[in-house]
Amino acid sequence: MKYIDEYRDAGQSRAIAEEIRRRTTRPHTIMEICGGQTHSIVRFGVDTFLPEEITLVHGPGCPVCVTPIEQIDRAIAIASRPGVIFTSFGDMLRVPGSETDLLSVRAAGGDVRIVYSPLDAVRIARENPERETVFFAVGFETTAPANAMAVFQARELGLRNFTVLVSHVLVPPAIETILSSPGNRVEGFLAAGHVCAVMGTEEYVPIAKKHRVPIVVTGFEPLDIFQGILLVVRQLEEGRAEVENAYARTARDEGNAAARALIARVFRVTDRKWRGIGSIPRSGLGLAEEFAGFDAETRFDVASQTAEESPICISGLILQGVKKPPECPAFGTVCVPEHPLGATMVSSEGACAAYYRYRRT
Ligand code: SF4
């Protein structure tokens, strides 16, 4: 398939892996930020082609995995109310809250609908003026522009029955948190190419400088990932710590100016709790004052809800690169995709789901 096969070329991948081997003289631990990259690494066995000195650890870049359990419970509470149409991307429906999930709410008669764009939720709100329509606005910087556009359009249309349950998170503060943690072992990062396509690369420059870590903007196919690893290894071996862009076919250093402007207009930066990790200052987006009337937490009065994680689940350690899924005692036994204990076993981008699917044996 054009634009995919050329980035899965086995011969070129082996050649880059060989180059990585040639340049590696000592151990290095590298983290890929995005869950999509994790799935490519595990699915195509990228790590198995690397020299044993290179350890890949998996980062927190799976939006479904880091949405806090309280927010899932809030979504469930809102979706269970009579008269509400609750809309969401499909992968949020099976994420476990503290007692149940959105799919079970739907099975019990709740009007929970899967949409492929937040603008579909705006359309549903227009078509159902007598009912409240809520959209579950989760994700990183990648989904923020479309979600911002939905809120913006709803206001332009004068919709009073549309709100968003916002749980947006930002990548750079998470990288800062990982690098600042006492047990950190990550020496270099593969940054997520699609996030940089929106936001550009400038936010990463002070992080690379302050922590002396190479950060390479990387795509999602095997060849992209081998290339990203090679650039990180090259920097580590040469004692450099810079931001490099190995995904220039999509991401520009300045990002997407229109998308950034829309995000800045509709949202404001706020503290945000990450599932399994905890609260990270200025690591999320909430609605700006001007759009506060579209906040579902306020409209449905669910902001004070609290919840507890499963004591068995170690997904927080996995998302920070401290452990890998097979090290969890529940992996593949009491925790499987059909009965997940944590979000990393549910999401199509979750590390536990990737290992379960491709490395179970
Ligand atoms: S295998 Fe299940 S319980 Fe263990 S970390 Fe992953 S999601 Fe949590």
Q: What is the pLDDT of residues 145-195, one digit of tens each?
A: 999 999 999 999 999 999 999 999 999 999 999 999 998 999 999 999 999
Helices (H), the chain: 10-23, 35-44, 63-66, 69-79, 102-107, 118-127, 144-156, 171-180, 193-199, 204-211, 222-238, 257-266, 296-299, 315-319, 351-358
The CATH homologous superfamily to which domain 26-310 belongs is HypD, alpha/beta domain 2 (3.40.50.11740)
Query: Residue 309 has what pLDDT?
Result: 78
Average model confidence (pLDDT) across the chain: 95
- Ligand 1 centre distance from Cα of residue 315 (Å): 6
What CA–CA distance (Å, rounded) separates 157 from 141?
A: 25
Residues 6, 272: Cα–Cα separation, whole Å: 39
Dist CA 214 CA 219 (whole Å): 16
Task: Determine the residue of 314, 324, 336, 356 to mutate for testing ligand 1's pocket, defined as the one with the most ligand atoms within 8 A of the Cβ atom.
Answer: 314
For residue range 296-353, list pLDDT tens digits in order. Answer: 999 999 987 777 778 899 998 999 899 999 999 999 999 999 888 888 998 878 999 9
pLDDT at 3 over 80: no
Å from CA of 326 to ligand 1 middle: 9
Question: Which carries the bigger pLDDT value, residue 33 or residue 5?
Answer: 33
> In 3-state terms, what secondary structure has residue 37?
helix
pLDDT of 138 above 90: yes
With a Cβ cut-off of 6 Å, ligand 1 is lined by 312-315, 318, 325, 328, 330-331, 335, 340-342, 344-345, 352
Examine the pLDDT at 4 and tell me if it is beyond 90: no
The predicted pLDDT at position 361 comes to 66
Q: Provide the phi-psi class of 204: left if phi over 0, else alpha when psi is between -120 and 50, else beta.
A: alpha
Mutation probe of ligand 1 site: the residue of 42, 313, 359 with most atoms within 8 A of C-beta: 313
Q: What is the tens place of the pLDDT at every residue in 247-276?
A: 999 999 999 999 999 999 999 999 999 988
Rounded to two decimals, what is the model's pTM? 0.92
- Determine what percent of the chain is predicted with pLDDT higher than 70: 99
Q: How far is CA 182 from CA 174, 185, 190, 320, in A?
A: 14, 9, 21, 12
pLDDT digits (tens, 9 = 90+) for 80-130: 999 999 999 998 999 989 899 999 999 999 999 999 999 999 999 999 999
For the chain, the residue count is 361
Residue 325 is predicted with a pLDDT of 95
Tell me the domain boundaries of the chain: 26-310, 315-358
Neighbour count for residue 65 (Cβ, 10 Å): 28
**pLDDT class of 278 with cuts at 50, 70, 90:** confident
Pocket test for ligand 1, best of 69, 310, 328, 360 (most atoms within 8 A of CB): 328
